[in-house]
Amino acid sequence: MTSLRVLGVDPGLTRCGVGVVDVARDRSAALVHVGVVRSDVELPIERRLATIAAGLRAVIAEHQPHVVAVERVFAQHNRSTVMGTAQASGIALLVAAESGLDAATHTPSEVKAAITGYGSAEKLQVQTMVARVLRLDSLPQPADAADALALAICHAWRRGVGGPASSSGTAALTPAQRAWADAERLARR
Amino acid sequence: MTSLRVLGVDPGLTRCGVGVVDVARDRSAALVHVGVVRSDVELPIERRLATIAAGLRAVIAEHQPHVVAVERVFAQHNRSTVMGTAQASGIALLVAAESGLDAATHTPSEVKAAITGYGSAEKLQVQTMVARVLRLDSLPQPADAADALALAICHAWRRGVGGPASSSGTAALTPAQRAWADAERLARR
């Protein structure tokens, strides 16, 4: 393949960000699709999850990504919604597997580090860099889907699309992050 | 229908307890199926979730429950595995919806209160009561599937299978639990 097509998923029950990018061997990236899969807060939880699953399956069917990258959810974040976010992330991973695709998870700080070189970057910095990387005229819209694009770009760069890009793909990582990346690679062999 | 067939799911990534019971109008309950859906810890997370989904779909196809009850997962519990548990619960809810079934969640203390009359009951007390309710000669095996059976029985009793059983189905609840049950009923109309 000349480029890697990645679907990034920023999981959420009410709004689930999705971004599809093509990343070439030289690390350049092109926007394929960006959007949000929504579920109605009035629906029972099982129907909401089914809506998310159907929306993600539609994106995969239309854009045929090679791999799915999902933001890793942590228990300590934002307690009131974290369980719904975790469930939505599980749905994204399941839909990937049932579509015959590999999946991977990345933490928010891994994504920020990969995109901006700085693991604690502000949202606007990430959006600005995503727009620059994808050569967009303005910030990605909707704004909350920019994270999904960042995740997709991060995944391709960290996995090292192409040969010489491999090392630079993890160059922005701290030693701890690099150790994590190595451990993750080993775990997924 | 003369009885309600409930699939109870005690969500877990490594071991997901499943229990199917038939609960009659007089609140008597009969064991239909009990078991555990396992996923290999060596597999990547998306494959593990797909294994859980396939296992749950097989149980639904074989035993044709009317409704699925899933244990509600809380962020503060057992941090290291809670995300996997939350993801597995999301899968159980999704599989219910995609099988055309309603789903409901109950907290561990709601289950304990419904089964033993005491929201902080010990595991052995719950297992003992489940065995008694189902008229089993010994405690349910595997032991960790007893929670799934308790959940299924709890669901039928709290939903009030049949007419006169309705009130007694919530008789063991505290006022707060009853208020919760009423709110839940309203929310699901």
- All residues of chain A having their beta carbon less than 8 Å from the beta carbon of residue B53 are 94, 98
Render B109-131 in DSSP notation, one character per residue: HHHHHHHHS-TT--HHHHHHHHH
Give the pLDDT of residue A50: 98
CA B98-B101-B107 angle, to 5 degrees, is 105
With contacts defined as CB-CB under 8 Å, which chain B residues touch A185?
none
8-state DSSP, A161: -
Half-sphere exposure at residue B43, Cβ-oriented, CA atoms within 13 angstroms = 17
Question: Angle between the A146-159 and A108-116 helix axes, to the nearest 10 degrees?
Answer: 80
Nearest to B152 by CA among B85, B71, B97: B71
Which residues, at least 6 apart from A35, have a Cβ–Cβ distance to it below 8 Å?
A: A17, A18, A19, A59, A142, A145
Q: What is the pLDDT of residue A7?
A: 98
Closest-CA distance of chain A to residue B49, Å: 6
Element housing A70 (H / E): strand A67-71
The whole-angstrom separation of Cα B31 and Cα A121 is 55
Q: Give the pLDDT of residue A142.
A: 87
Q: Do A75 and B83 touch (CB under 8 A)?
A: yes
Q: Nearest CA of chain B to the CA of A85: how many Å?
A: 9
Q: For chain B, what are the domain ranges?
A: 3-187
What pLDDT sits at residue A136? Answer: 95
- Determine contact, residues B62/B33, Cβ cutoff 8 Å: yes
Catalytic site residue B71? yes
Quick one: pLDDT at residue B187? 46
Q: How high is the pLDDT of residue A76? A: 66
Query: What pLDDT score does A143 carry?
Result: 80
What pLDDT does residue B112 have? 94
State whether residue A24 is helix, strand or coil: strand
Give the length of chain B.
189
Written as tens digits, the pLDDT of chain B (189 aa) is 589 999 999 999 999 999 999 999 999 999 999 999 999 999 999 999 999 999 999 999 999 999 999 999 887 655 678 899 999 999 999 999 999 999 999 999 999 999 999 888 898 999 999 999 999 999 998 887 899 999 999 999 988 764 333 333 444 444 444 544 554 454 444
What per-residue confidence (pLDDT) applies to B178?
52
Q: In what order do the strands lie in the sheet containing B15-24?
A: B29-38, B15-24, B3-10, B67-71, B102-106
Give the integer Cα–Cα distance in Å for A131 and A126.
Answer: 9
Please tell me the class of the A3-187 domain: alpha beta
Q: What is the mean pLDDT of each run of 10 residues along chain A (189 residues)?
A: 91 96 96 97 97 98 98 74 93 98 95 91 93 94 90 92 40 48 49
A110 is a catalytic site residue: no
Mutation target among B37, B49, B76 for the A interface, most CBs of A within 10 A: B49
CB pairs under 8 A between A and B: 87
Residue A147 bears catalytic tag: no
Taking an 8 Å cut-off on Cβ atoms, the answer to whether A90 and B93 are in contact is no
